[in-house]
Amino acid sequence: MKLSLREELKNGLLILAGLLVAAAAYRMYLIPNRVVAGGFTGVGQLLNHALGVSVGLVNLALNVPLFLISMKSMGLRFGIRSLAAMALLSLLIDHLPLPPATDDMLLAAVYGGAISGIGFGLVLRGSATTGGTDMLAALAHRVFPVLKVSTAIFLFDGLVIIASAFAFEPQSAMYGLISAFLCNVLIDLVLEGPNSAHSYFIISDNSEAIARKIMDEMNRGVTGLEAMGMYSRTHKQVLLCVVNRFEAMRLRRIIFEADPHAFVIANKAHEVLGEGFKDV
């Protein structure tokens, strides 16, 4: 099912608002106070300090190869939308005309982390991503399946934050951890509350096609549950799928593209243990 013009416009406005908010957090709080919260933008801050290269340019240069590699698995529309969002974010980080809001590193870490989290959450709600270490971690997991995505994200961001302690001062790394934590908390809150995982029950006459698309395009497992509609007395297969916060919007798109009349129940998962999520 193709998205209507109204839905596309809504997504575009959410993405634009999110990019402006996230870029403002970097321009007003994080970059002027040398608070590095990880990610490719954090790498840009380090290279900007060492070589004078602009932060946005580094973010763009690191992300483009990842997008080209991942475009097929992301889906053309989602991939193009995300590539444009990433490019615009890089531009705004370098050129958005906003002055520093404070020279207090604690305030910069708190407000920069919270505001950037709101911005990135809005971008994700608009069915796009700005790439970064999340995408790099997903690719690393594909090459080294033993390396979990969550672990890879922690390693990549952790190395960037640790490097900031040597490039700037130890305090920068400490404040960077605060900022990274708040950013992730706010992303969760903007998307769908504080839970990082969601379980979906999908009732559809096209359950086979939906399950295949989820497994092929998202590399997520799907469980088929035998059920019977008590009114129609017909047997159906109910699908159960658990995804993380970054995949929720994409899962919905896959479902309703395959069956516009699907019946979907989404639940916030208090805790998810096992393959692709958290260990016991």
Name which residue leads in pLDDT, 99 or 3: 99
Q: What is the pLDDT of residue 32?
A: 96
Strand partners, 237: 226
pLDDT exceeding 70 applies to what percent of the chain? 92
Alpha carbon distance 126, 101 (integer Å) = 28
Q: How far is CA 80 from the centre of its chain?
A: 15
Query: What is residue 110's three-state secondary structure?
Result: helix
**Domains, the chain:** 5-192 (no CATH), 197-269 (3.30.70.120)
Residue indicated by tokens 């390396």:
147
Confidence bin at 278 (pLDDT 50/70/90): low
pTM over 0.75: no
Confidence bin at 1 (pLDDT 50/70/90): very low
Strand partners, 224: 239
User: Does 159 have pLDDT greater than 80?
Assistant: yes
Q: What is the pLDDT of residue 133?
A: 83
Q: What is the pLDDT of residue 35?
A: 95
Nearest to 158 by CA among 180, 140, 143, 141: 180
At 70-88, the pLDDT tens digits run 877 777 778 888 899 999 9
Buried b (16+ CB within 10 A) or exposed e, 42-80: bbbbbbbeeeeeebbbbbbebbeebbeebeeebbeebbe
Q: What is the pLDDT of residue 91?
A: 96
Tell me what the mean pLDDT of segment 95-111 comes to. 96
At 109-157, the pLDDT tens digits run 999 999 999 999 899 888 888 888 878 877 787 788 787 766 788 889 9
Question: Would you give the DSSP letter of residue 194?
Answer: S
